Amino acid sequence: MPRSRRYDGGYFEITAISSAPVEHVMSESHRDPSIGTHEASSGEGMVYWQVALPGPLQMLFTYGVPADVSARAGMRVWVPLGKGQRMGVLWSPAEKETEWVIKPVLSVLDDEPLLDEELLACLGWAADYYHFPLGETVLAALAPSLRQGRSLHELAWRILPSGEQALADGTLRGARQRALLERIAQTPQGVSESQLRDFPKAVRLRLADLGLIEPFEQMMPSTWPVLAEMSGNKLPAPDLNEAQSAAVSAVAACLENFGVWLLEGVTGSGKTEVYLNLISRVLAQGRQVLILVPEIALTPQLVTRFTDRLGLVPAVLHSGLNDGDRLNAWLAARSGDATVVIGTRSAVFQPFADLGLIVVDEEHDGSFKQSEGFGYHARDVAIWRARRLGVPIMLGSATPSLESLRNVSLSRYHLLTLPERAGGAAMPDIRLLDVRQQRMRGGLSDDLVAAIETHLLAGGQVMLYLNRRGYASNLLCHACGWVAECAHCDSFMTWHRGVNRLRCHHCGFERQPPSVCPNCSATLSPRGLGTEQLEDVLTGLFPGFGIERLDRDALSRVGELDRRLARIQSSEARLIVGTQILVKGHDFPHVSLVAVVDADQALFANDFRGAERFAQQLIQVAGRAGRASRAGTVLVQTHQPEHVGLNRLIHAGYASFAQTLLAERAEAGLPPVRAAAMIRADARDADAPRELLTHMADWLHEHLADPADSPLDVWGPVPAPLARRAGRYRYQLLILADDRPRLHAALSQLESWQGTRRTKGIRWSIDVDPVDMA
DNA sequence: GAGTGAACACGG
DNA sequence: CGTGTTCACTCC
């Protein structure tokens, strides 16, 4: 006889997706209200656990879990904390003896660990390495809905024999009731609540009251399309050239072992084919693959390429995903249903059933490093995981980071090179254009204008790279020198003529530009070239040739990038103007000329990584030229044609330039040769951050000044490159050490300053391996 | 981080 | 003396 139950509102509340997990319990025993009382803590039958709690509390808290409940590290628990309650993750079993009165957990939210041993170990390492609170770190590995305490189980409904009977008899009168019953009858194993959204809740309740259907809890299914077997969907793999084959076979021979493989391939050399080949091999073994890409490189085209070639649907993780999709991808990766996961940096914390290979594309890209909050570097976390899992990891780039090149020279990484462009395309010819004393029209010298014209008339496309968006970098009064400044930062405001607004690119502050100088009422004139203005200038010089502008302003709407890329692909647009976005991985096969409009601005960047970044951008943007049969030309406008670094880069190539930079870093005692961390502090008060950091610096000197030991340098405090940002004054302190343990020890010491983290409105944070010094 | 209570500041 | 405000401290 089927069980017939009445369902009170409370039951549905509990299972509702958004309900507080405090009430969501996995077994009857948790519902016992006595567990919530203090007396239980001293009683028998409790197992003690250290629990990681989100928040700035970087220590673990001990709670009791009833002995009859299965508890394992990686399960979520709902615990009392102070007056409130919050979610935590079981971390490790604890000793019974503590000086605290141990409170019992209110409920255990999972009946199996959400995070496996490897991922927990990874999170523990990352929290330690990046000096970030463990509880917050753990959240990085949970999909947002899991952070909010959503259960991995969900309510589902299945039909009862009396329901079958009712359908057969046709006794059910209500049309909606019959429709729902029929829907549920279609799937004998049950239909989850979320798939029944189309039917009002009341209808379900009514059917349940009539004893026709019953609810039950089921593990949330991962609904991932599995197309792997549909081999007809795969596009054939092109033949690999010699270098590609060599790279593939080197790694393929070591698929069962950890190893870091740096694939250094000039742009257009077919790195992706090497990835695809290796990925296919790993998939053939039934294992999963994680592909990490920089933020801007994760485009629909890239995903399409993987989909078409591998004949499956990769799970794609990026910032635009909603919570539902994220949970789905998380589940699919954890269950193994998603065999390929492509994502930006946060995907590195994804759980996997059986990961067999990690690929980090464009490994030099700065967007792999999170600079605020939990300052992890996705590439480095990925390497940690690969080592722990005993699987290979491939880092690909045309312009590898100095870190990776150094690790190659220390024999920590294996180097694989693809020296030639696939398909025999010629390397672009890079030339400097001396613009000293030259007549400039809208930032373009006559020589450059002539070159553009030649290429356009020859039927080619021309791409102009300028790393400054907006119309003009600022509005200036020619009479008195007044410049539009941001009210909240020490910066000038950029004039965006299209929308006629002044914008601060550092804090987002916007305002209407004044019509005349607020100081002397003279007319204001734009100064400094931005992409918007360049677009105007080109329209004037080359009317009739379509222009496409690619920058963050132009691409705010979804799908806009695709539309513009399509116009470029079809040669509808012959001139392309853009910022950084041009640098990242898009193929523009008809571009025959690339112009770097202003090399000087990047050449004299104020932090020591400026040269490295510029070199990478120049080489990457140069790689956009002549990808098909035509050899491309790259022209670089500069006032410094004799610049030593620039000439070495152009004539000897990136690898040689990078070795010189590395030697310079060793000489100067800078990363990656030495280990670095940046302490940043900011406050509304102008002096407070500097005082705090001075204090820290003194303290570090006092406590760590051990001349016999390897040196530890403390530089600063100095005002941050943008000394005032969004109304807060910013200072920073750079700590350099000869080796990591030494740096680590110093940073751990600093954590005793934790209490001062929020005093006097000062916020401060530790950034290990800082990427940009700003 | 959020909640708490002690210390301090201020009005009439 | 009541009440508003800042600040340091705890949370298992």
Q: What pLDDT, on a 0 to 100 scale, did the predictor assign at position A12?
A: 22
Between CA A401 and C1' C8 the distance (Å) reads 45
* A254 among annotated binding-site residues: no
- Summarize the confidence of residues A273-290 as an average pLDDT: 96
Distance, in Å, from the CA atom of A136 to the CA atom of A513, rounded to the nearest integer, reads: 42
Nearest nucleotide (C1') to the CA of residue A81? Answer: C11
Q: Is the CB of A304 under 7 A from strand C?
A: no
* A504 among annotated binding-site residues: yes
Q: What pLDDT, on a 0 to 100 scale, did the predictor assign at position A690?
A: 86
Which nucleotides in chain B lie less than 7 Å from some protein C-beta? Answer: 1-4
Tokens found for residue A695:
């204090």
Sheet (strand A675-683) strand order: A712-725, A728-737, A675-683, A763-768
pLDDT in tens, A218-263: 877 777 776 545 445 688 888 999 999 999 999 999 999 999 999 9
Q: Is the peptide bond preceding residue A351 cis, with omega within 30 degrees of 0?
A: no
Q: Is the CB of A741 under 7 A from strand B?
A: no
Q: Is the CB of A100 under 7 A from strand C?
A: yes
Q: What pLDDT, on a 0 to 100 scale, did the predictor assign at position A1?
A: 29
Q: What pLDDT, on a 0 to 100 scale, did the predictor assign at position A605?
A: 66
Q: Is the CB of A707 under 7 A from strand B?
A: no
Nearest nucleotide (C1') to the CA of residue A104? Answer: C12
Q: Is the CB of A232 under 7 A from strand B?
A: no
Q: Is the CB of A210 under 7 A from strand B?
A: no
Q: Is the CB of A761 under 7 A from strand B?
A: no
Q: Which fold has domain A4-147?
A: GIY-YIG endonuclease (3.40.1440)
Between CA A84 and C1' C3 the distance (Å) reads 27
pLDDT above 70 covers a percentage of chain A that reads: 88
Nearest nucleotide (C1') to the CA of residue A82? Answer: C11
pLDDT in tens, A425-443: 666 788 999 988 888 888 8
Burial of residue A142, with CB atoms counted within 10 A of its CB: 0-12 exposed, 13-18 middle, 19 or more buried = buried
Q: Is the CB of A98 under 7 A from strand C?
A: yes
Lowest mean pLDDT among A24-33, A72-81, A185-194, A232-241: A24-33
Nearest nucleotide (C1') to the CA of residue A136? Answer: B1
Nearest to A732 by CA among A746, A744, A718, A742: A718
Between CA A388 and C1' C6 the distance (Å) reads 49
Nearest nucleotide (C1') to the CA of residue A94? Answer: C12
Between CA A681 and C1' C7 the distance (Å) reads 19
Cβ–Cβ under 8 Å, residues A373 and A632? no
Between CA A507 and C1' C6 the distance (Å) reads 29
User: Among all chains, which residue has been given the structure tokens 């006559």?
Assistant: A446
A424 residue type, one letter: G
Between CA A690 and C1' C6 the distance (Å) reads 22
Q: Reply yes or no on whether the pLDDT at A20 is more than 60.
A: no
Nearest nucleotide (C1') to the CA of residue A59? Answer: C12
Q: Reply yes or no on whether the pLDDT at A31 is more than 60.
A: no
- Summarize the confidence of residues A727-733 as an average pLDDT: 85
Which of the two residues, A159 and A628, has the higher pLDDT score? A159
* Same fold yes or no, A4-147 and A229-423: no
pLDDT in tens, A387-417: 999 999 999 999 999 999 999 999 999 999 9
Which of the two residues, A8 and A361, has the higher pLDDT score? A361
Which of the two residues, A420 and A413, has the higher pLDDT score? A413
* A507 among annotated binding-site residues: yes
Lowest mean pLDDT among A48-57, A219-228, A360-369, A506-515: A219-228
Between CA A500 and C1' B11 the distance (Å) reads 50
Distance, in Å, from the CA atom of A163 to the CA atom of A184, rounded to the nearest integer, reads: 10
Between CA A54 and C1' B1 the distance (Å) reads 9
Cβ–Cβ under 8 Å, residues A713 and A735? yes
pTM above 0.75, yes or no: yes
Question: A425-469+530-664: what CATH class?
Answer: alpha beta
What is the residue-averaged pLDDT of chain A? 83
The H-assigned helical ranges of A643-756 are: 644-652, 654-668, 688-704, 740-750
Between CA A711 and C1' C12 the distance (Å) reads 39
Q: What pLDDT, on a 0 to 100 scale, did the predictor assign at position A630?
A: 63
Between CA A758 and C1' C6 the distance (Å) reads 13
Number of residues that this document lists for chain A: 774
Report residues 81-120 of A contacting strand B, contact meaning Cβ closer than 7 Å: 81-84
Nearest to A733 by CA among A712, A719, A747: A719
CA distances from A178 to A96, A174, A196, A212 (A): 57, 6, 14, 11
Q: Which of A33-42, A51-60, A86-95, A559-568 has the highest mean pLDDT?
A: A86-95
- Summarize the confidence of residues A112-136 as an average pLDDT: 94
Between CA A761 and C1' C8 the distance (Å) reads 13
Lowest mean pLDDT among A15-24, A291-300, A539-548: A15-24
Angle at A80 between CA A75 and CA A84, to 5 degrees: 125
Q: Is the CB of A102 under 7 A from strand C?
A: yes
Nearest nucleotide (C1') to the CA of residue A757? Answer: C8
* A486 among annotated binding-site residues: yes
Lowest mean pLDDT among A32-36, A601-605, A680-684: A32-36
Between CA A753 and C1' C12 the distance (Å) reads 21
Lowest mean pLDDT among A41-45, A281-285, A291-295: A41-45
Which of the two residues, A502 and A341, has the higher pLDDT score? A341
Report residues 43-72 of A contacting strand C, contact meaning Cβ closer than 7 Å: 57, 59-63
Q: Is the CB of A754 under 7 A from strand B?
A: no
Instruction: State the pLDDT confidence band at A352, using cuts at 50, 70 and 90.
Output: very high
Residue boundaries of the structural domains of chain A: 4-147, 153-219, 229-423, 425-469+530-664, 675-768
Q: What pLDDT, on a 0 to 100 scale, did the predictor assign at position A166?
A: 87
Which nucleotides in chain C lie less than 7 Å from some protein C-beta? Answer: 7-12
The DSSP code sequence of A49-76 is EEEE-SSS--S-EEEEEETTS---TT-E
Nearest nucleotide (C1') to the CA of residue A101? Answer: C12
**Strands in A220-265 per DSSP E:** 259-265
What architecture is domain A675-768? 2-Layer Sandwich (3.30)
Q: Reply yes or no on whether the pLDDT at A41 is more than 80.
A: no
CATH no. for A229-423: 3.40.50.300
Tokens found for residue A601:
């601005």
Q: What pLDDT, on a 0 to 100 scale, did the predictor assign at position A136?
A: 92
Nearest nucleotide (C1') to the CA of residue A99? Answer: C12
Q: Reply yes or no on whether the pLDDT at A444 is more than 60.
A: yes
Report residues 643-672 of A contacting strand C, contact meaning Cβ closer than 7 Å: none
Q: Reply yes or no on whether the pLDDT at A691 is more than 90.
A: no
